[in-house]
């Protein structure tokens, strides 16, 4: 069977609802998008449910679905994804937490959940905790993330993710850290709760005496003398995409969560300090990198753009229109460079983030797959309203994944 390549642009939070400030248009309908319009005219389009009608998904689940995973089986919680984002290679059985560097007073009360929003020295502090041994042969892996965040992993036999967060949450300053009580009656949960206590105390001792914190105290900054943990998840098996489909995939992104998810799925990942994950990201650079990867032989290249989601969360429809128009310009580079007889080009979103909702919604998201031999829907404008008459209707993100794999010649025949 002949094989072709594919390029998929994931515009995070692209989907929206009619907005009065945009004369009743969605941002995608309102934006001037000559290149995307041209792309739509060369393929099939529609509004696609990330999971099921009305189900709101997070960015992590939304991306696993775009990559074709059954998230009822393969979603292990946010902790493991953060750990993968930090570059930790997780093994089945590992318990991964999201962590914060925090400041505690002498009585064990939280002064600041973010240790004065510490940005420097976190790599050294995390290194000081990495490799820490706990009771019963459990080892701690710790790696810094952006600013005050870090990933913490417990590795060893007989662990459970059913333990309460030690982080009491956003309005907790002045309160003590929470005791990590077990959340079920299994011996594994009881044991893991004890290990979290042991880790918290040992980590606090190590951090309090660390050079970075002594220097912070000297200059009048809050010391990062404690680790608050939340969102534990137990890593299970996650087959690499290439185990199910004969493809060599690559991802171009600035957002660490996306880089983590795709790395877990076996993608080679490519980033650049100029891929900021914000509105000022270097879109032409991302598209240029994707073209380079397709030329160098990657079969399926995913490009992630975070900014539409941020505009949605901030209720900034004009900013969403602006980033869509910048994305459209960058798409011009692709349409001039890629031979649509050899490579399918598509776009979708992990979920809608309607500006006036200010959060993810369960709306279906505008989606397009174009290529020379794709059945054409004859729709030459992009937008939720225009895509309603396209052929990609009542489908899920996993269906769209399978359609791409089939077009690219990467699926097995069902039957003989
Ligand atoms: Zn998202």
Instruction: State the distance from the centre of ligand 1 to the C-alpha of 308, rounded, in angstroms.
Output: 9
Instruction: State the distance from the centre of ligand 1 to the C-alpha of 362, rounded, in angstroms.
Output: 12
The secondary structure element, H or E, covering residue 84 is helix 78-85
Instruction: State the distance from the centre of ligand 1 to the C-alpha of 158, rounded, in angstroms.
Output: 33
* Domains of the chain listed by start with CATH number: 5-75+239-407 (3.40.720.10), 80-234 (no CATH)
Alpha-carbon distance of 411 to 246, in angstroms, equals 8
Instruction: State the distance from the centre of ligand 1 to the C-alpha of 309, rounded, in angstroms.
Output: 6
Instruction: State the distance from the centre of ligand 1 to the C-alpha of 194, rounded, in angstroms.
Output: 35
Instruction: State the distance from the centre of ligand 1 to the C-alpha of 65, rounded, in angstroms.
Output: 12
What's 4's DSSP letter? Answer: -
Which has the closest alpha carbon to 85: 233, 199, 254?
254
- The pLDDT value given to residue 119: 87
23: left (phi > 0), else alpha (psi -120 to 50), else beta? Answer: left
Cα 53 to chain centroid, rounded: 21
Instruction: State the distance from the centre of ligand 1 to the C-alpha of 152, rounded, in angstroms.
Output: 23
Instruction: State the distance from the centre of ligand 1 to the C-alpha of 187, rounded, in angstroms.
Output: 36
Contact between residue 126 and residue 144 where contact means Cβ atoms under 8 Å apart? yes
pTM of the model: 0.89
- The pLDDT value given to residue 121: 95
54: left (phi > 0), else alpha (psi -120 to 50), else beta? Answer: left
How many residues would you count in the chain?
Answer: 416
Instruction: State the distance from the centre of ligand 1 to the C-alpha of 62, rounded, in angstroms.
Output: 7
Contact between residue 176 and residue 108 where contact means Cβ atoms under 8 Å apart? yes
Instruction: State the distance from the centre of ligand 1 to the C-alpha of 398, rounded, in angstroms.
Output: 16
Q: Which three-class secondary structure state does DSSP give residue 317?
A: helix
Contact between residue 36 and residue 331 where contact means Cβ atoms under 8 Å apart? yes
The residue ranges of the chain whose pLDDT is under 70 are none
Instruction: State the distance from the centre of ligand 1 to the C-alpha of 193, rounded, in angstroms.
Output: 32
Alpha-carbon distance of 113 to 123, in angstroms, equals 18
Alpha-carbon distance of 95 to 83, in angstroms, equals 10
Instruction: State the distance from the centre of ligand 1 to the C-alpha of 157, rounded, in angstroms.
Output: 34
Instruction: State the distance from the centre of ligand 1 to the C-alpha of 359, rounded, in angstroms.
Output: 10
Contact between residue 110 and residue 168 where contact means Cβ atoms under 8 Å apart? yes
DSSP per position, 239-288: --HHHHSS--EEEE-S-HHHHHHHHHTT-EEE--TT--SSTT--HHHHHH
Phi, psi for 223 (deg, rounded to 5)? -75, 145
Exposure b/e, 90-105, CB count within 10 A at least 16 = b: beeebbbbbbbbbbbe
Alpha-carbon distance of 181 to 160, in angstroms, equals 12
- The pLDDT value given to residue 53: 96
Q: Which three-class secondary structure state does DSSP give residue 371?
A: coil
Instruction: State the distance from the centre of ligand 1 to the C-alpha of 197, rounded, in angstroms.
Output: 33
Instruction: State the distance from the centre of ligand 1 to the C-alpha of 80, rounded, in angstroms.
Output: 17
Cα 84 to chain centroid, rounded: 10
What's 158's DSSP letter? Answer: S
Contact between residue 206 and residue 131 where contact means Cβ atoms under 8 Å apart? no
Instruction: State the distance from the centre of ligand 1 to the C-alpha of 306, rounded, in angstroms.
Output: 7
Contacts of 415 (CB under 8 A, 6+ apart): none
- The pLDDT value given to residue 16: 98
- The pLDDT value given to residue 2: 83
- The pLDDT value given to residue 171: 72
Task: Kindly list the distances between the CA atom of residue 116 and the CA atoms of 102, 119, 224, in Å, as whole numbers in the listed order.
Answer: 8, 9, 8
- The pLDDT value given to residue 147: 85
């Amino acid at each position: 069977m002949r094989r072709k390549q594919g390029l998929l642009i994931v515009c995070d939070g692209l989907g929206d609802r009619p907005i009065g400030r945009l004369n009743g248009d969605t941002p995608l309908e309102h934006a001037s998008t000559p290149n995307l319009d041209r792309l739509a005219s060369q393929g099939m389009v529609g509004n696609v449910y990330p999971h099921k009608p009305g189900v709101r998904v997070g960015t992590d689940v939304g991306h696993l679905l775009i990559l074709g995973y059954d998230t009822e089986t393969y979603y292990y919680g946010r902790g493991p994804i953060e750990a993968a984002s930090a570059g930790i290679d997780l093994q089945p059985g590992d318990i991964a937490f999201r962590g914060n560097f925090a400041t505690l007073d002498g009585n064990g009360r939280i002064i600041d959940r973010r240790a004065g929003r510490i940005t420097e020295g976190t790599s050294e502090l995390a290194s000081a905790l990495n490799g820490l041994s706990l009771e019963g042969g459990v080892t701690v892996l710790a790696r810094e993330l952006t600013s005050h965040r870090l990933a913490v992993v417990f590795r060893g036999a007989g662990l459970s993710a059913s333990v309460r967060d030690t982080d009491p949450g956003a309005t907790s300053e002045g309160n003590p850290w929470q005791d990590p009580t077990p959340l079920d009656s299994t011996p594994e949960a009881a044991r893991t709760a004890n290990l979290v206590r042991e880790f918290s105390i040992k980590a606090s001792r190590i951090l309090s005496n660390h050079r970075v914190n002594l220097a912070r105290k000297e200059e009048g900054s809050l010391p990062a003398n404690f680790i608050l943990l939340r969102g534990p998840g137990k890593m299970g098996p996650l087959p690499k995409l290439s185990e199910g489909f004969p493809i060599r995939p690559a991802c171009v992104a600035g957002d660490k969560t996306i880089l983590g998810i795709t790395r877990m799925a076996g993608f080679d990942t490519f980033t650049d300090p100029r891929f900021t994950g914000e509105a000022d990201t270097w879109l032409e650079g991302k598209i240029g990198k994707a073209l380079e990867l397709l030329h160098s032989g990657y079969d399926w290249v995913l490009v992630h753009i975070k900014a539409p989601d941020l505009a949605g969360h901030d209720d900034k429809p004009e900013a969403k229109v602006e980033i869509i128009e910048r994305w459209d310009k960058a798409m011009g580079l692709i349409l001039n460079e890629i031979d649509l007889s050899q490579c399918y080009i598509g776009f979708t979103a992990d979920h809608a983030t309607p500006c006036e909702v200010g959060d993810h919604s369960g709306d279906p998201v505008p989606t397009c797959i174009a290529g020379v031999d794709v059945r054409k829907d004859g729709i030459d404008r992009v937008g939720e309203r225009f895509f309603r008459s396209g052929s990609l209707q009542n489908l899920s993100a996993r269906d769209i994944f399978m359609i791409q794999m089939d077009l690219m010649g990467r699926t097995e025949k069902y039957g003989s």
